[in-house]
Structure 1
Amino acid sequence: MDEKYLPEVVRIEQENMDFPWTAGNFRDSMKAGHHCVVLIQQEAVIGFAVLMMVLDEAHLLNIGIDKRYRGQGLGKQLLRWVMQTARTLGGLNLFLEVRPSNHVAIKLYESIGMNEMGLRPGYYPALQGREDALLMGCAL
């Protein structure tokens, strides 16, 4: 991801999340060597993904699609890129965390073969304290 796309990525993140990543969080991921990609349509950033590799494990740290472009299969397209990139980099498994309240995301992840693998209690900040995270994963 080129730094020039950061304002649009942050905008999408802020529109999608109650507790969004900051520009600094995205910069830190880029500096750490995480694989950051933007989805562009007609010269506009409409989505992004951040993938971290640790040995043969891939971890999807963040993903988002502009609300105006949802329901068009773009999230699945971006996830397929994540999976292919992880395979290319030697990944054997893909993992991610998701809020149990995010039913749309869970359905999307299940549609590409991901399964619930566990629960991380109190993982996410929430309006009323903390929210658990579902740990999901699949073989690549």
Structure 2
Amino acid sequence: MTISPTTEQDFEQLFQIEQQAHLVPWSMGTLKNNQGDRYLNLKITDENETIIGFAICQTVLDEATLFNIAIDPKFQGKKLGQQLLEKLIEQLRKKNIATLWLEVRESNHSAKKLYDKLGFNEVDIRKNYYPTPDGKRENAVVMALYL
């Protein structure tokens, strides 16, 4: 497995993973809008250079926010998300980022377990933050990792 920055040529593969990995996935436009100088976006590829996961992270001054992390469902459960997030954290530390923030669905127990393992702290709850496929809303757990 290789972890490297995303490129414009990656959007189709990122979009396919996004559609499969998330309950309410981002649009192609949202993916494309979260690129540029203020972002540290990484992909993880297999030995055939096929993208199997990605992370989208925005940096502002000494803080960063993980907007999205996704692993192709066929590859979930193999600690690839952990590898990707650890690499992201390593690169953020090199950029002198002090805090990495994220929101996670209250029902996403596997993601919360990973974030706890990596040292994130629960900071707050955002009520009715995430949309659900049935038109309702789900709370978000706000977490922070102090780098």
The TM-score with structure 1 as length reference comes to 0.94
1:101 counterpart = 2:107: yes
1:75 counterpart = 2:71: no
Structure 1 runs, 4 residues or longer, greater than 3 Å off: none
Tell me the CA shift for residue 54 of structure 1. Answer: 1.4
Question: What is the 5 A alignment of 1:54-69?
Answer: 54-69=60-75
> Which residues of structure 2 form unaligned runs of 5+?
1-5
Residue of structure 2 in register with 1:117 after alignment: 123
What is the letter of the counterpart of residue 108 of structure 1? L
What is the letter of the counterpart of residue 53 of structure 2? G
Query: Equivalents in 1 of 2:119, 2:36: separation in Å?
Result: 30
Query: Equivalents in 1 of 2:131, 2:83: separation in Å?
Result: 28
Which one is further off, 122-131 or 73-82?
122-131
Helix, strand or coil: the match of 2:35? helix
Which one is further off, 59-68 or 26-35?
26-35
Residue of structure 1 in register with 2:3 after alignment: none
Among the aligned pairs, what percent are the same residue? 38
Query: Equivalents in 1 of 2:146, 2:78: separation in Å?
Result: 25
> Which residues of structure 1 form unaligned runs of 5+?
none
Q: Deviations over 1:71-91 (max 9, x none)?
A: 211111011111112112221
Query: Structure 2 vs 1, CA of residues 23 and 32 (structure 1 numbering), >3 Å: closer, same or farther?
Result: farther
Give the superposed CA RMSD: 1.2
Which one is further off, 46-55 or 83-92?
83-92
Question: What is the 5 A alignment of 1:1-140?
Answer: 1-31=6-36, 33-42=38-47, 43-126=49-132, 127-140=134-147
Q: Deviations over 1:28-62 (max 9, x none)?
A: 11146312111111211000001111111111010
What is the letter of the counterpart of residue 7 of structure 1? E
The count of aligned residue pairs is 140
Query: Equivalents in 2 of 1:28, 1:124: separation in Å?
Result: 19
What is the letter of the counterpart of residue 46 of structure 1? I
Helix, strand or coil: the match of 1:119? strand
